[in-house]
Structure 1
């Protein structure tokens, strides 16, 4: 999308996203090799069969740019992921708040390392498994990625060995791990490899799929002394429900493993405008409409997700208000030990692409690449509000609110290093409210508008 913008407009958008006068997002997630939102898929960074020495390792795909013949909306044919990462790093380096945490995640190992010898197979409904004989080669592959970007002045903060290890039925790039397999890979291969090479400070995140399914993964990874030693925490996604972040699950995991982090690494309006699949009962209601340049859509209960009106936990997947889902997940998640939140795609086309398998999704910002028009959705504005007011180094503090507001009003609070208290409030009701909050044995009177996300800042005591 960014290659379709003139340089001045592209730089302005990046400043809005990552600069101190904009959202100043401190953490990003990027893909190692292809993913479904690669413009063209089915590639890795080492494509020569049997190349255990990784002589063929190349960052070409992050640098190659795009053909204007094939993609006529392109303005800068040289611009690609590598240059984007460099631009963001430059923005952060020039400002006082330099926090720039890059989480790098693979969707799949090179095809030749897997049992299906392919990036994914729709026919077999699988992404395949990493062959045991290539565990060390795959660890070396991930190390080479870290080494390349470090040589370019970008230190990756964290690494996730694979996105969604339970798979996606072979719909796009993927690779299966069982909990025990990922534990073995982290503990006996990836962790020691990074440590020996001087990259022991890179955080390793396990799992990287839906929160409610995390139990077997924490048991296997944290139950093994080696993998526990090398694993910083668990990455989770929000696709298990269209409204709840499963606070009881995060609480239980934290209580069992209080020294380990829980970070949300992917969420979006999935299947945006996509035709219903076979299991959907309400086929007409499944398909969203009129979201581009229509703020009302983002504040209305008009969005659906993959499991809406299906036999798969229908009570967890009703229609929802996009802004409410984002704000609730962040506010309630932070109250229950979640330490960070990353959206999926921050910028997409008006139809929710580009995606090489048609897996279109919503994004906080949408760009009409033909007319060079940028639409900042209400979701973006709320993410910006929360990002500017909750920063790395803040401490989450307990908030007590009236029980009768539960499930309709969501509140969290953080304390700044200088003692100020920031309170974020999501009111999902259709009427304004006034109520009291108790924070550190002190009462605060609060008023909040109907159907709104508001932030209050109180001075230090």
Structure 2
């Protein structure tokens, strides 16, 4: 095959490969071997750094391209010279089309995460945290933290279970899971990030005594009506949580109004931690209870981001229209959270364009994602599934191309079954832990998300692009980072290579040959 770029030097991939029964490999870390991941350093003028991961060969494989070599006459008519039957595309960057500012990328510190890390030797649990939060890793910038228990806890709990009708929450108290599993990891992440980490809190369920079904789990709503004592108590619960963590030296960047408020409505048989809120109930809860209670406690929108919805994209229009068309309710909200899960809507990405068009002053943020989530599926946690790496990358790019400002994975670490989960709601994860072997595995999804989080820091700005040619199976997103570098992420999901010419990314046209089933991040100083 014709060499399509000039390679100056490359790295090894810092990966000890192991194959299981999937279509790719994992990178293994144990007490004997756990190679560090190369940091992304500023790129010298006149060069492009290319980082590639692929189904068949690479993980963060870095090569450096010389712009002077790319400018040689040989390259100018290379597309015409190619005779191999590969896709040939031309991508043009539009530097004047600057859109949303990026908040960041990351995952969630859950009870399951903490338990899995506790089951490993300290050096390996520290390695996982470094893999996620240091520059020798994915350099996560946002972390979601459950407010109380979730289905990825080993038991069912909230912070105010013991005293029914404790409307002032005088008996509110953090649980052992916070003190042993979440808070230590959050502090470790903050240290690795030198404090530059956004924390987003989300609640699954209030205490059972606040709900119509008198149970933390299962379909139920808050008792009474917005403005009433139960709604007020639920709003105070958020403040109590923020204050309790602040006493631990942990401050939150934001909260969501309620994790998955539609589950108790759409799925009457839904059996784990949840709370139902209709669009109208959420509007009035924000307007009459949550917004004023947060404001009066010193958590106004100048101090705390408040993201509504925090649920699948199908219902984004109804919830955003109900809340944000109410001027008073909208004044307490800064962002719109959504989950990546599909619920039958054929082209649910277009809801993002619709919501942004209707409410451009409220940022969009993808707050939860995981693969292998289908209930009763036999394909939960999988070691080495490259297809899932592609579904992640496709979703991230499709979201970023529709004004999204950040994207969060779910549990940072799960066991090889996909848990623990009291609800047996096992899923896949970026890192899977086998405590019996004192080993953990970096799945292909780890690198897929890393192609964004590692190279697109907060305050990067999305820039538009145009693609000429048959772009099916090829996905592109481009940015200017805070260091004034151009950054592009390109994904090829096709079974054959794709040849690209990228224009206005640098001072010359850049020819790139994308392997089949590969993802690449390109970085160069801005012209």
| Alpha carbons of structure 1 residues 240 and 439: separation in structure 2 relative to 1, 3 Å | farther
| Alpha carbons of structure 1 residues 245 and 33: separation in structure 2 relative to 1, 3 Å | farther
Aligned 1:429-440 pairs, distance under 5 A: 429-439=494-504
Name the one with the larger strand percent: 2
| Structure-2 residue corresponding to 1:422 | 487
Matches of 2:381 and 2:298, distance apart in 1? 50
Matches of 1:452 and 1:240, distance apart in 2? 24
Aligned 1:77-156 pairs, distance under 5 A: 79-93=180-194, 98-121=195-218, 126-132=219-225, 133=228, 134-156=230-252
| Structure-2 residue corresponding to 1:369 | 435
Matches of 2:171 and 2:318, distance apart in 1? 36
SS state at 2:373 partner: coil
| Alpha carbons of structure 1 residues 447 and 377: separation in structure 2 relative to 1, 3 Å | same
Matches of 1:130 and 1:83, distance apart in 2? 35
| Structure-1 residue corresponding to 2:379 | 288
| Alpha carbons of structure 1 residues 245 and 231: separation in structure 2 relative to 1, 3 Å | farther
| Structure-1 residue corresponding to 2:327 | 225
Greater RCO (CA < 8 Å, at least 6 residues apart): 2
Query: Does 1:396 find its partner at 2:465?
Result: no
Aligned 1:35-434 pairs, distance under 5 A: 35-63=150-178, 79-93=180-194, 98-121=195-218, 126-132=219-225, 133=228, 134-167=230-263, 168=267, 169-200=269-300, 201-240=303-342, 246-271=348-373, 275-276=376-377, 287-288=378-379, 291-292=382-383, 295=384, 298-299=385-386, 321-406=387-472, 408-434=473-499
Matches of 1:403 and 1:248, distance apart in 2? 23
Q: Is the 2:272–2:423 Cα contact (8 Å) retained in structure 1?
A: yes
Q: Is the 1:211–1:245 Cα contact (8 Å) retained in structure 2?
A: no
Q: Is the 1:242–1:325 Cα contact (8 Å) retained in structure 2?
A: no
Matches of 1:165 and 1:241, distance apart in 2? 14
Which one of the candidate residues 514, 519, 523 is aligned to 1:448? 514
Matches of 1:420 and 1:234, distance apart in 2? 28
| Structure-1 residue corresponding to 2:120 | 5
Matches of 2:417 and 2:297, distance apart in 1? 43
Matches of 2:499 and 2:275, distance apart in 1? 50
**CA shift digits 1:2-39 (9 cap, x unpaired):** 11112222112111111122111000111111110012
| Alpha carbons of structure 1 residues 421 and 161: separation in structure 2 relative to 1, 3 Å | same
**CA shift digits 1:309-329 (9 cap, x unpaired):** xxxxxxxxxxxx211110011
Q: Is the 1:397–1:439 Cα contact (8 Å) retained in structure 2?
A: no
Matches of 2:456 and 2:421, distance apart in 1? 31
Structure 1 gaps of 5+ residues are: 65-78, 277-286, 300-320
SS state at 2:450 partner: helix
Structure 2 gaps of 5+ residues are: 1-115
Matches of 2:372 and 2:329, distance apart in 1? 32
Q: Is the 2:506–2:526 Cα contact (8 Å) retained in structure 1?
A: no
TM-score (norm 1): 0.83
TM-score (norm 2): 0.73
Matches of 1:429 and 1:241, distance apart in 2? 26
SS state at 2:453 partner: helix
| Alpha carbons of structure 1 residues 441 and 16: separation in structure 2 relative to 1, 3 Å | closer
Matches of 2:330 and 2:450, distance apart in 1? 34
Q: Is the 1:130–1:176 Cα contact (8 Å) retained in structure 2?
A: no
SS state at 1:191 partner: helix
SS state at 2:328 partner: helix
RMSD: 2.1
Q: Is the 1:164–1:174 Cα contact (8 Å) retained in structure 2?
A: yes
Larger Rg: 2
Alpha-carbon shift at residue 52 of structure 1 (Å): 0.9
Matches of 1:263 and 1:88, distance apart in 2? 21
Matches of 2:223 and 2:476, distance apart in 1? 43
SS state at 1:384 partner: helix
Q: Is the 1:46–1:58 Cα contact (8 Å) retained in structure 2?
A: no
